[in-house]
Amino acid sequence: MSQASRSQLSPFDVSLPVMDRRAFLAAMGWGGGWLAAPDLGASERRKTSMSATVLIVGGGVGGVAAALAACRAGQRVVLSEETLWIGGQLTSQAVPPDEHPWIEEAGCTRSYRQFRDEVRLGFLRHSSLNAASKSVARINPGGGWVSRLCHEPRLALAVLESMLAPHIANGRLTLLLGHRPVAASVQGDRIESVTFEAVTGGRRRVVSASWVLEATELGDLLPLAGVEHVTGAESRSETDEPSAPEKADPLDQQAITWCFGLEHHAGQNHVTQRPDDYARWRDYAPKMTPPWPGRLFAWEHSHPITLQPRTLPFDPVGEGAFPNLWTYRRIRDASRFQDPKKFPSVCLVNWPQNDHWLAPLVGPGVTLEQRRQREAEAKALSRSLIYWLQTDAPRPDGGTGWPGLKPSAGVLGTPDGFALAPYIRESRRIRAKFTVTERHISTDLRKAETGAAAETVRATPFRDSVGVGAYRIDLHPSTSGRNYVDVSSLPFQIPLGALLPRRVENLIAAGKCLGVTHIANGCYRLHPVEWNIGEAAGALAAFCVDRQLTPAAVHAKADLTAEFQKRLREEGFELEWKAAIRPL
């Protein structure tokens, strides 16, 4: 692919499509010590083992933040990632950041704010922007209304890579891209090493480390290392949560979504070949409790809060209309550019219509082969949704279909316009020293417990807080046939005890696998919260190295917890909410 053709795909071609990425890295002289990709030269292939002080398994949002914290503290770190893009939700899954209303001023770590600032600066540096866009304070690059920072995943990738670059350059950080964990060596209550397999070629590499951080999208290291964990939904009797089901169901897991990007070219015909399973998805009517209002492929769906039917319209022609699914998660706004035809608007499709909830990805009896099949089925659902939008979807003018809709080739890092990986909302979760439940964060439950008024009620305070977050308890329809669970919640803290397994002493949760229930996961799974969790985990590993302590010891002794919290504050963490806030 020529440089000229690449520039038409995205204004942020810092990182190329996955098919070109390894050649690009080699051409830039970025091979060698810091990058271990599946097809390195013969001398690199002979290396079958390596060591580090801190091993971070999973290079998503939490994994990257953990690496930043551990490297800042001077530790030698290995960071693995199954795809060839670090960044998880922000990049390979292509989802713009879901954030709380106060994110511009408070409620995240300093490094996450740096990431947000660099995304905006990177966007404003692009030479193709028009003058009006360059003068917008706190610009929202894509103008999507779900987030104040809707932007192309390539831009997020470029920023994350630049944040890690100094640590790569000084030799503290080694990336294992295109590697997934397949085994772990455990002695007693410690993980000694993790074996990784290249996703292409099958070559294996063993990494030994003093501290192991779990940051994969699905908690893949937990069963490999025999770490006690939970999948799916706990029972109401176990967690005392009103929103929990009566019976535990480890296979009751939130929908996944294989996102894709869409452009619209009026007057053109880009109708794709009709998928073989199109009729199945076109006619599919979900059977849920409470009921879904009709077919999945329709503009009417269940309101997440009331569960009553609601309609969100879609119109790629009337971009100014609101609400409009076309602009909901728009990641590129053509009006920002001098030449809108060269850089057309791109709608990131992460809607109820392509949520896939027919089967879980992990849990008892679920094999890796089944997981891959179910991920492929989620992608097939999205592929059929594209065809429906092009041909059969009802238009506001009474017609059907927009043949000018076209998958955005290259914008998400693939030639077919799909994200590199499915969007994962729920992971396996550790049996933790402390587990956050609905009762700690629900607005109504906290009001009932404390007797506080709506203006003064607060989430349960945690003396071992390592950060803060805020979001409604937001669970998408699940594999059990349960409809949305969407509950008002309070800005909350992240307790250190939720990052620590009950038994394994050198493992720290650095992502969605922390100690929260199926219900509480609904607000602890979002981008800035996952970043905070990961960054706290990386900082904790470094603190334990410096003080020759275990995480359990830091958690058990109030003076050590306070000393660690002091270090976090110096690193730019917010450990409590200071400003006047309201329920979400």
- Tell me: the pLDDT tens digits for 407-426? 999 999 999 999 999 999 99
pLDDT in tens, 195-210: 999 999 889 999 999 9
Angle subtended by helix axes 61-72 and 153-169, to nearest 10: 30
- Token digits of residue 4: 């000229």
Averaged pLDDT, 280-296: 97
Q: How far apart are CA 304 and CA 204, in angstroms?
A: 44
> Strand runs (DSSP E) across 255-359, as ranges?
256-257, 260-264, 300-302, 309-311, 330-332, 346-349, 355-356
CB proximity list for 309: less than 8 A, separation 6 or greater? 293, 294, 300, 301, 302, 303
Q: Model's pTM, two decimal places?
A: 0.92
Burial 364-395 (b: 16+ CB within 10 A, else e): eebeeeebeebbebbbbbbbbbbbbbbbebee
Q: How far apart are CA 351 and CA 496, in angstroms?
A: 34
Q: How far apart are CA 189 and CA 196, in angstroms?
A: 21
DSSP symbols for 365-376? T--HHHHHHHHH
At residue 47, the pLDDT reads: 52
At residue 564, the pLDDT reads: 98
Question: Which ranges in 451-507 belong to alpha helices (H)?
Answer: none
At residue 36, the pLDDT reads: 43
Averaged pLDDT, 42-58: 77
Q: pLDDT category, 455, cuts 50, 70, 90? A: confident
Yes or no: say if 441 and 523 are a contact pair by the CB < 8 Å rule: yes
Averaged pLDDT, 17-45: 35
Q: Is the pLDDT of residue 440 over 50?
A: yes
> Strand runs (DSSP E) across 424-525, as ranges?
429-430, 465-469, 473-475, 485-487, 492-495, 507-509
Helix (H/G/I), strand (E/B), else coil: 518: coil
Yes or no: say if 383 and 275 are a contact pair by the CB < 8 Å rule: yes
At residue 582, the pLDDT reads: 74
At residue 580, the pLDDT reads: 66
Burial of 171 (C-beta count, 10 Å sphere; 0-12/13-18/19+): exposed
Averaged pLDDT, 463-486: 98
Q: Which residue has the higher pLDDT, 74 or 1?
A: 74
Yes or no: say if 500 and 432 are a contact pair by the CB < 8 Å rule: yes
Yes or no: say if 470 and 531 are a contact pair by the CB < 8 Å rule: no
At residue 33, the pLDDT reads: 30
Yes or no: say if 378 and 352 are a contact pair by the CB < 8 Å rule: no
Within a 10 A sphere around the Cβ of 103, how many other Cβ atoms?
19
At residue 579, the pLDDT reads: 66
Q: Is the pLDDT of residue 26 over 70?
A: no
At residue 366, the pLDDT reads: 97
Averaged pLDDT, 421-433: 98
CB proximity list for 443: less than 8 A, separation 6 or greater? 454, 457, 487, 488, 489, 490, 583, 584
3-state helix, strand, coil in the chain (%, to 5): 30, 20, 50
At residue 584, the pLDDT reads: 75
| Residue percentage of the chain with pLDDT more than 70 | 92
Q: Is the pLDDT of residue 40 over 60?
A: no
Q: How far apart are CA 191 and CA 186, in angstroms?
A: 4
Tell me what the pLDDT averaged over the chain comes to.
Answer: 92
Q: pLDDT category, 32, cuts 50, 70, 90? A: very low
Q: Is the pLDDT of residue 367 over 90?
A: yes
Q: Is the pLDDT of residue 284 over 70?
A: yes
Averaged pLDDT, 7-29: 37
Burial of 475 (C-beta count, 10 Å sphere; 0-12/13-18/19+): buried
Identity at 273, one-letter amino acid code: Q
CB proximity list for 559: less than 8 A, separation 6 or greater? none
Q: Is the pLDDT of residue 17 over 80?
A: no
pLDDT in tens, 80-137: 999 999 999 999 999 999 999 999 999 999 999 999 999 999 999 988 999 999 999 8
At residue 10, the pLDDT reads: 52
pLDDT in tens, 527-541: 999 999 999 999 999
At residue 321, the pLDDT reads: 76
432 bridge partner residues? 501
159 bridge partner residues? none
Yes or no: say if 153 and 90 are a contact pair by the CB < 8 Å rule: yes
DSSP symbols for 217-258? TT-THHHHTT--EE-SBPPHHHH--TTS-SS-BTT--B-EE-
Q: Indicate the domain borders of the chain.
A: 256-407
Q: pLDDT category, 4, cuts 50, 70, 90? A: very low
Averaged pLDDT, 399-413: 96
Helix (H/G/I), strand (E/B), else coil: 83: coil
Identity at 85, one-letter amino acid code: W
Helices and strands (DSSP H and E) totals, the chain: 18, 21
